[in-house]
Amino acid sequence: MFRKVLIANRGEIAVRLVRALRDMGIASVAVFSDADRGALHVRLADEAEHIGPAPSAESYLNIPRLLEAARKHGAQAIHPGYGFLSENAEFASACDAAGLVFIGPSAETIRRLGSKTAARILAKQVHVPVVPGSEKPATDLEHARTLARELGYPVLLKAAAGGGGKGMRQVNKESELEASIRDASSEAERAFHNAEVYIEKVIERPRHIEIQIAGDRFGHLLHLGERECSVQRRHQKIIEECPSPLVFLNPEMRQEMGEAALRIARAAGYYNLGTVEFLADQYGNFYFLEVNTRLQVEHPVTELVTGLDLVQLQIRIAAGEALPFSQEDVRWSGWAMECRICAEDPENQFFPSPGKILQLREPAGPGIRLDSGVSPGWNIPLEYDPLLAKLVAWAPGRDIAIRRLDRALAEYAIAGPVTNLAFFREILRDPEFERGALHTGFIADLMTRRKAPEAPSLQLDLAVALATAAAAARNRDGETPLEKPQASNWLIEGRGHLLR
Amino acid sequence: MKFEIAIDGRPIEIDKTQLENAIEVEPGVFSVLIDGRSFEIRLPAGGPETNAIADGRRFSVEVRDPRDATGSSRSAPAGGRQKVAAPMPGKVIRILVKQGDAVEAGQGLAVVEAMKMQNEMKAPRPARVIEVRVRDGDTVAAGETLVVLE
Residue A304 host element (H or E): helix A299-306
pLDDT exceeds 60 at position B139: yes
Domains in chain A with CATH codes? 4-103 (3.40.50.20), 132-201 (3.30.1490.20), 207-449 (3.30.470.20), 458-499 (no CATH)
Closest CA to B30 of B64, B1, B8, B61: B61
Q: Which architecture, in CATH terms, is B82-149?
A: Beta Barrel (2.40)
Closest CA to A127 of A241, A287, A272, A347: A287
Taking the Cβ of residue B69 and every Cβ of chain A, the question of whether any pair is shorter than 8 Å is answered with: no
Cβ atoms of A279 and A128 closer than 8 Å = no
The reply to whether residue A471 touches residue B43, judged by beta carbons under 8 angstroms, is yes
pLDDT in tens, A44-98: 999 999 999 999 999 999 999 999 999 999 999 999 999 999 999 999 999 999 9
The reply to whether residue A472 touches residue B63, judged by beta carbons under 8 angstroms, is yes
Residue A479: pLDDT band by 50, 70, 90 thresholds?
A: low
Cβ atoms of B141 and B92 closer than 8 Å = no
**CB A250: neighbour CB atoms within 10 A?**
14
Cβ atoms of A99 and A6 closer than 8 Å = no
pLDDT exceeds 60 at position A99: yes
**What residues of A act catalytically?**
294
A323/A305 Cα distance (integer angstroms): 18
Nearest chain B residue to A418 by CA distance is B58
* Chain B (118-147) residues lying within 8 Å, Cβ to Cβ, of chain A: 118-119
The reply to whether residue B3 touches residue A473, judged by beta carbons under 8 angstroms, is yes
Q: What is the mean pLDDT of chain A?
A: 92
Q: Got the DSSP string for A345-365? A: EGGGTTEE--EE--EEE---S
Taking the Cβ of residue B81 and every Cβ of chain A, the question of whether any pair is shorter than 8 Å is answered with: no
Q: Could you give the residue range(s) of every CATH 2.40.50.100 domain in chain B?
A: 82-149
Nearest chain A residue to B107 by CA distance is A176
E strands, chain B, are 2-7, 10-15, 22-26, 29-34, 37-42, 51-54, 57-64, 82-85, 90-95, 102-103, 108-114, 117-122, 127-132, 139-140, 145-149
A421/A353 Cα distance (integer angstroms): 13
Cβ burial of B61 (10 Å; 0-12, 13-18, 19+) is buried
The reply to whether residue B65 touches residue A498, judged by beta carbons under 8 angstroms, is yes
Residue A73 host element (H or E): helix A63-73
Cβ burial of A284 (10 Å; 0-12, 13-18, 19+) is middle
A167/A190 Cα distance (integer angstroms): 9
Q: Helix, strand or coil for residue B131?
A: strand
Cβ-based neighbours of B55, under 8 Å, separated by 6 or more: A456, A460, B39
Query: What pLDDT is recorded for position A255?
Result: 97
For residue B8, the Cα-to-chain-centroid distance in whole angstroms is: 12
CA distance A379 to chain B (A): 12
**CB B19: neighbour CB atoms within 10 A?**
19
Residue A43 host element (H or E): helix A40-44
Taking the Cβ of residue B105 and every Cβ of chain A, the question of whether any pair is shorter than 8 Å is answered with: no
Largest interatomic CA distance in chain A = 79
pLDDT in tens, A402-418: 999 999 999 999 999 99
Kindly state the average pLDDT of the residues A102-114.
96
**CB B137: neighbour CB atoms within 10 A?**
10
pLDDT exceeds 60 at position A498: no
The reply to whether residue A456 touches residue B57, judged by beta carbons under 8 angstroms, is yes
Residue B83's identity, in one-letter code, is K
Query: What pLDDT is recorded for position A192?
Result: 81
Closest CA to A362 of A7, A15, A10: A15
Query: What pLDDT is recorded for position B31?
Result: 97
pLDDT exceeds 80 at position A206: yes
Alpha-carbon distances of B28 from A471, A492, A493, rounded to whole Å: 8, 14, 16
Q: Got the DSSP string for A174-192? A: HHHHHHHHHHHHHHHHHHH
Kindly state the average pLDDT of the residues A352-366.
94
Query: What pLDDT is recorded for position B68?
Result: 42
Cβ burial of B67 (10 Å; 0-12, 13-18, 19+) is exposed
E strands, A234-304, are 236-242, 272-280, 286-292
With pLDDT > 90 as the criterion, what percentage of chain B qualifies?
37
Sign of the CA dihedral A159, A160, A161, A164?
positive
Cβ atoms of A51 and A32 closer than 8 Å = yes
pLDDT in tens, A225-275: 999 999 999 889 999 999 999 999 999 999 999 999 999 999 999 999 999
B118/A366 Cα distance (integer angstroms): 39
Minimal Cβ distance to B41: which of A418, A463, A493: A463
Cβ atoms of A215 and A208 closer than 8 Å = no
Alpha-carbon distances of A328 from A247, A304, B3, B121, rounded to whole Å: 19, 18, 68, 52
Residue A221's identity, in one-letter code, is L
Query: What pLDDT is recorded for position A310?
Result: 98
Taking the Cβ of residue B60 and every Cβ of chain A, the question of whether any pair is shorter than 8 Å is answered with: no
The reply to whether residue A464 touches residue B59, judged by beta carbons under 8 angstroms, is yes
Chain A residues lying within 8 Å of B93, measured CB to CB: 183, 186
Nearest chain B residue to A485 by CA distance is B27
With pLDDT > 90 as the criterion, what percentage of chain A qualifies?
76
Q: Helix, strand or coil for residue A58?
A: helix
Cβ atoms of B57 and B41 closer than 8 Å = no
Q: Got the DSSP string for A83-131? A: STTTT-HHHHHHHHHTT-EESSS-HHHHHHHHSHHHHHHHHHHTT--B-
Report the residue of B19, B37, B88, B119 to disrupt the A interface, i.e. the one with the largest count of A CBs within 10 Å: B88
A107/A87 Cα distance (integer angstroms): 9
Alpha-carbon distances of A194 from A143, A197, A458, rounded to whole Å: 19, 9, 55
Query: What pLDDT is recorded for position B108?
Result: 87
Q: What is the mean pLDDT of chain B?
A: 82
pLDDT exceeds 50 at position A303: yes
Closest CA to A372 of A23, A12, A25, A113: A12
**CB-side exposure of A81: number of CA atoms within 13 Å?**
24
Taking the Cβ of residue B54 and every Cβ of chain A, the question of whether any pair is shorter than 8 Å is answered with: yes
Cβ burial of A358 (10 Å; 0-12, 13-18, 19+) is buried
pLDDT exceeds 90 at position A13: yes
pLDDT in tens, A308-325: 999 999 999 999 999 999
Chain A residues lying within 8 Å of B118, measured CB to CB: 183, 186-187
**CB A239: neighbour CB atoms within 10 A?**
23
Minimal Cβ distance to A416: which of B3, B26, B44: B44
Query: What pLDDT is recorded for position A478?
Result: 63
Query: What pLDDT is recorded for position A189?
Result: 85
Beta strand pairing call for A101-102 and A77-79: parallel
Query: What pLDDT is recorded for position A164?
Result: 66
pLDDT in tens, B31-78: 999 999 999 999 987 443 478 999 989 999 988 865 443 333 333 333
The reply to whether residue A470 touches residue B24, judged by beta carbons under 8 angstroms, is yes
